[in-house]
Structure 1
Amino acid sequence: MPFLEVRSNLPASFFPQDFVIKLSACAAASLGKPEERMNVVVQPSCPMLISGSTSPCVMLSVSAIGVTDTADKNKEHSAKIFEFLTRELALTEDRIVIVFHALQPHQVGKKGTVMSFL
């Protein structure tokens, strides 16, 4: 049950209409998770600064159970997701930051319990 949170100083109109669906598919493929388990939110028009600049940028937070817990895995995920974001949003790699969070099953609630019990 991965969670993707995109924050950007780009206006909402800059994001293609199907951006959330495409990002979900890209991340699901990279993480090896079913698309129906993906959770994605995009927050446009945020006051932001990356590397000392307020030029157009994106911060992506990727939280997942069991697939974001090593440097080797995250290097692969990063390459695939960067390729998607640079293509879809016409940003250079230096204007994108991805933060990976390794979740444990007891840290994710669903259906009135936590993933440990599902």
Structure 2
Amino acid sequence: MPFIDLQSNLPASNFSDDFLKKLCACSAAALDKPQERVNVVVHPGLPMMIAGSCSPCVVLSVSAISVTDTADKNKEHSAKIFELLTKELGLTDDRIVIQFHALQPHQVGKNRTVMSFL
């Protein structure tokens, strides 16, 4: 059950339903998870700075169980997600930062329990 949390100083108009669907599909494919399990949240129009510049940028957090726990895995995930973000949002690589967080099954609640019991 991956969580994709995108924060950006770009306006909400840059994040259509079509973009959300593409981000969900890309994340699901990169993490080898079903799209039905991917949760996507976008926070547009934020005051943000990356590398000393307030130019358009994105900080993306990827939290997931079992698939974000090694550098090798995250290198592959990063490349796939960067490809989508640069293409869809017109950003250069230096204006995107991705954070990966490894979750344990007991840290994710669903259906009145936690993933450990599902």
- The Cα shift of 1:14 comes to 2.0
Tell me how far apart the structure 2 counterparts of residues 67 and 57 of structure 1 sit (CA, whole Å).
25
Correspondence 1:30 to 2:61: no
Find the counterpart in structure 1 of residue 84 from structure 2.
Answer: 84
Match of residue 102 from structure 1: 102
Distance 2:91 2:16 in 1: 14
**Over aligned residue pairs, what C-alpha RMSD do you find?**
0.7
TM-score by structure 2 length? 0.98
Instruction: Determine the structure 2 residue equivalent to 1:20.
Output: 20
TM-score (norm 1): 0.98
Structure 1 unaligned spans of 5+: none
Task: Report Cα offsets for 1:21-77 as digits up to 9, x if no partner.
Answer: 100000100100000000000010001011111100000000000000000000000
Secondary structure, aligned partner of 1:41: strand
2-structure distance, mates of 1:104, 1:17: 30
Q: Name the residue aligned to 1:116.
A: 116
Runs of 4+ in 1 over 3 A off after TM superposition: none
1:2 equivalenced with 2:2 (yes/no): yes
1:61 alignment counterpart: 61
Number of aligned pairs? 118
Q: Distance in 2 between matches of 1:79 and 1:21?
A: 19
Change (3 A) 1:86 1:116: same
Deviation at 1:104, TM superposition (A): 0.2
Q: How far apart, in 2, do the equivalents of 1:50 and 1:87 lie?
A: 19
Shift of 1:17: 3.6
